[in-house]
Chain A
Amino acid sequence: MSVYPYLVAGVLFVAGLYGVVTSRSYVHLGLCLTVTQSSTYVALVSVGYLRNGQAPITQGKTPGKPFVDPIVQAMTLTDVVVSVAVLALVLSLALLAHRTHGTADPDRMRQMKG
């Protein structure tokens, strides 16, 4: 199917959201954020694919086959770094939460109300 990879991306996105909504631990929640973000990787890289294409490396290339889109690959690379940065901070905050509150369960931390 010509839209199947994109639909996979869509499902992953919502699956990650489901994880965030039902999470009982900030660590798990950080990983669900990563799942949501990975849906963008799938979407981006799928966008760039060309039928019968080859990787955009000129050394050892097969003549005649087109190169797939290198720009989405660069975007995905940046995206991965973003994911690492966000995850590092969410995990640090999860650690702090455990340190100060004794729990990393988002629903048990109800200090903010109203």
Chain B
Amino acid sequence: MTLVHRRLSFFVPAAVLLTGVLAWGLAGMPSFGLPHSDYARYITAHAAGQRHVSNIVSSVVFDYRGWDTAGEELMMFAAVMGTALLLRDDRDDRDEERRRPTDATTSDAVRTVRAGAVALTLLVGLWTVAFGYLTPGGGFQGGVVAASAALLTWVGGSYRRLRAVTPTTMVDATEGLAAVGFLAVGLLGLVAAGSYLQNVLPLGTPGTLTSTGTIAVLNAATGLEIAAAFVLIFREFLEEHVETLPAREEP
């Protein structure tokens, strides 16, 4: 028996048991579609009034359960730092410049489409972030979309172009400062009202961009941080890929 077969002969009974257990438990949950949570009912009834917000999920993410989001922000930050720590130290950045990998797109059609696509994606991303507390969207969602504009730059252009528009220093700094910004807004709540992450900014008129107090600020900080984090991750992995490409000869 091969290794995998032997392993499967143990796994299958265990998996059957676990599936049975899960099914038993899941079948005992309240019926799909029925209300089950006083907590949810409270939030849906009061969030719009208490925080002048239209997107109730954003109020949960950045206000009621903002402390979870703080942990999550920093988790993204840690993941990016971890990726950089693991992959970056080994490389010598100067080699990149000399190697000049041959991955530039030569087709004019692709480059034209890329220009439009990058602009459009970036715009959609920023819009999703900006209106995140009014309509579906938010810092996380919009940040990822904006970061994918960076990927499009590489796909439709070349790695050197991507590197040129996303200098490591700037992206690193943005990411760190956005994370500090998020935490600092929380400290504002601590200093002004005695509770960390308390919403202490004016709540404004519901439905406008200047409503919801700190939710708007935290949303923006999150969007910035996530966009920077994803750009960094893409760049780290692309650096690894680019190393495998043949280099152009030295001119």
Interface size on A, residues (CB 8 A): 54
B221 vs chain A, min Cβ distance (A): 15
Which of B2-10, B99-107, B173-181 has 4 or more CB atoms under 8 Å from chain A?
B2-10
Cβ–Cβ contact B15 & A81, under 8 A: no
Interface size on B, residues (CB 8 A): 59
A112 at the interface (CB under 8 A from B): no
A70 at the interface (CB under 8 A from B): yes
Complex CA gap A4/B83 in Å reads 38
* Known contacts A6-B32, A59-B134, A92-B86; A67/B236 CB under 8 A: no
* Known contacts A58-B54, A74-B57, A74-B60; A3/B31 CB under 8 A: yes
A111 at the interface (CB under 8 A from B): no
Cβ–Cβ contact B79 & A70, under 8 A: no
A54 vs chain B, min Cβ distance (A): 10
- A-side contacts of B19, CB under 8 Å: 10-11, 14
* Known contacts A58-B48, A85-B79; A6/B11 CB under 8 A: no
- B-side contacts of A59, CB under 8 Å: 54, 134-135, 207
Cβ–Cβ contact B72 & A78, under 8 A: yes
Partner of A88, one of B8, B83, B90: B83
- A-side contacts of B161, CB under 8 Å: none
Which of B35-43, B151-159, B190-198 has 4 or more CB atoms under 8 Å from chain A?
B35-43
Chain A interface (Cβ < 8 Å from any Cβ of B): 1-7, 9-11, 13-14, 17-18, 21-22, 43, 46-51, 55-59, 66-67, 69-75, 77-78, 80-82, 84-86, 88-89, 91-93, 95-96, 99, 107
